[in-house]
Amino acid sequence: MLGKLMKYEWKASWKLLLPANLVIVCLSVMTWIANNVAEQSLLSEDRLDGLLSGIFILVMMLSYALSVITVFVGGAIYLIYRFYTSTYGDQGYLLHTLPVDKHHIIVAKALVSAFWILMMALVIYMSAWLVCGGDTKDFFGEIFGGHWYLPIYVSEEELNVFTVIMAIVAAVAGVFAKIMQVAASISLGQLSANHKVMASFGFYIAFRVLQSMLEGMISVLIIMFADGAEGLLNGFMWHYSWEPALIIGLLYSTLFYLITWHVMEHRLNLE
Amino acid sequence: MAPIVQCMGLTKQYGRKTALNQVCLNLERGRIIGLLGPNGSGKTTLIKIMNGLLRPTAGEILVGGIRPGVETKAHISYLPERTYLQPQMKVMEIVEYFRDFYPDFQVERAYDMLARLQIQPYERLKNLSKGMKEKVQLILVMSRNADLYVLDEPIAGVDPASRDYILHTIVANYNRNATILLSTHLIADVESILDEVVFIRQGSILLQAGAEQIRRNEGKSVDRFFREVFAC
Q: What CATH number corresponds to the domain at position B216?
A: 3.40.50.300
* Radius of gyration of chain B from its Cα atoms, rounded to whole angstroms: 18
Find the DSSP H helices in chain B. 43-50, 70-73, 91-101, 107-116, 130-142, 160-173, 187-190, 211-218, 222-229
In one-letter notation, the amino acid at residue B88 is Q
Among chain B residues, the shortest Cα distance to A98 is held by B73
Find all residues with CB under 8 Å of A197, minimum gap 6, and list them: A84, A189
pLDDT band at A135 (very low <50, low <70, confident <90, very high): low
Find all residues with CB under 8 Å of A269, minimum gap 6, and list them: A190, A191, B54, B55
Residue A1 to residue B101, Cβ atoms within 8 A: yes
CB pairs under 8 A between A and B: 60
CA torsion through residues A94, A98, A101, A106, sign? negative
In one-letter notation, the amino acid at residue B74 is A
Measured between alpha carbons, how far is B47 from B50 in angstroms, rounded to an integer? Answer: 5
pLDDT band at A43 (very low <50, low <70, confident <90, very high): low
Highest-confidence range of A45-54, A69-78, A162-171, by mean pLDDT? A69-78
Give A14's contacts in chain B (Cβ within 8 Å). none
B interface with A, Cβ–Cβ < 8 A, is 14-15, 48, 51-55, 70-71, 73-74, 76, 78, 80, 82-86, 93, 97, 100-102
* B132 closest CA partner among B112, B117, B145, B147: B117
Q: Which domain holds residue B76?
A: 5-229
Of A93, A193, A266, the CB nearest to B84: A93
| B212 secondary structure, DSSP code | H
CA angle B176, B177, B181 (to 5 degrees): 85
CB A13 within 8 A of CB A24: no
pLDDT band at A44 (very low <50, low <70, confident <90, very high): low
Q: Which residue in B54, B71, B86 has the most chain A C-beta atoms within 10 A of its own C-beta, making it the best mutation to test that interface?
A: B86
Residue A93 to residue B14, Cβ atoms within 8 A: no
Of A4, A96, A99, the CB nearest to B74: A99
Q: Min CA distance, A100 vs chain B (Å)?
A: 6
Of A1, A7, A94, the CB nearest to B85: A94
Give B144's contacts in chain A (Cβ within 8 Å). none
* B91 closest CA partner among B66, B114, B62: B114
The number of residues in chain A equals 271
More confident residue, A232 or A257: A257
pLDDT score of A153? 64
CA torsion through residues A83, A88, A89, A93, sign? positive
Measured between alpha carbons, how far is A137 from A130 in angstroms, rounded to an integer? Answer: 10
Measured between alpha carbons, how far is A79 from A261 in angstroms, rounded to an integer? Answer: 19
Averaged pLDDT for residues A171-178: 91
Q: Which residues of A107-143 are buried (b: 16+ CB within 10 A; e: fewer)?
A: bbbbbbbbbbbbebeebbebbebbbeeeeeeeeeeee
pLDDT score of B187? 85
pLDDT score of A18? 92
Residue A100 to residue B70, Cβ atoms within 8 A: yes
pLDDT score of A183? 96
Give A193's contacts in chain B (Cβ within 8 Å). 14-15
Of A4, A93, A99, the CB nearest to B80: A93
pLDDT score of A247? 92
CB B12 within 8 A of CB B49: yes
* Tally of CA atoms within 13 A in the half-sphere of B96 that contains its CB: 12
Q: Which residue in B17, B67, B70, B75 has the most chain A C-beta atoms within 10 A of its own C-beta, making it the best mutation to test that interface?
A: B70
Here the ipTM equals: 0.89
Find all residues with CB under 8 Å of A190, minimum gap 6, and list them: A88, A196, A199, A200, A263, A269
For chain B, the 3-state helix, strand and coil shares in percent, each to the nearest 5, are 35, 30, 35
Averaged pLDDT for residues A138-151: 53
Of A98, A100, A266, the CB nearest to B55: A266
First to last CA, chain A: 26
| A41 secondary structure, DSSP code | H
Strand extents, DSSP E, A137-223? 148-149, 152-153
In one-letter notation, the amino acid at residue B145 is N
**How many domains in chain B?**
1
What would the pLDDT profile of A84-102 be if each residue is shown by its tens digit?
999 999 999 999 999 999 9
Measured between alpha carbons, how far is B94 from B96 in angstroms, rounded to an integer? Answer: 5
CB B59 within 8 A of CB B8: yes
CB atoms within 10 A of CB A193: 11
Reading chain B (232 residues) residue by residue, the pLDDT tens digits are 788 999 999 999 888 889 999 999 999 998 999 999 988 889 999 999 999 999 999 999 999 999 999 999 999 999 998 888 988 899 999 999 999 999 999 999 899 888 888 888 999 999 988 888 888 988 899 899 899 999 998 877 677 777 777 788 777 777 778 899 999 888 888 888 899 999 999 999 999 999 899 899 988 888 888 888 887 6
Query: SS3 for B51?
Result: coil
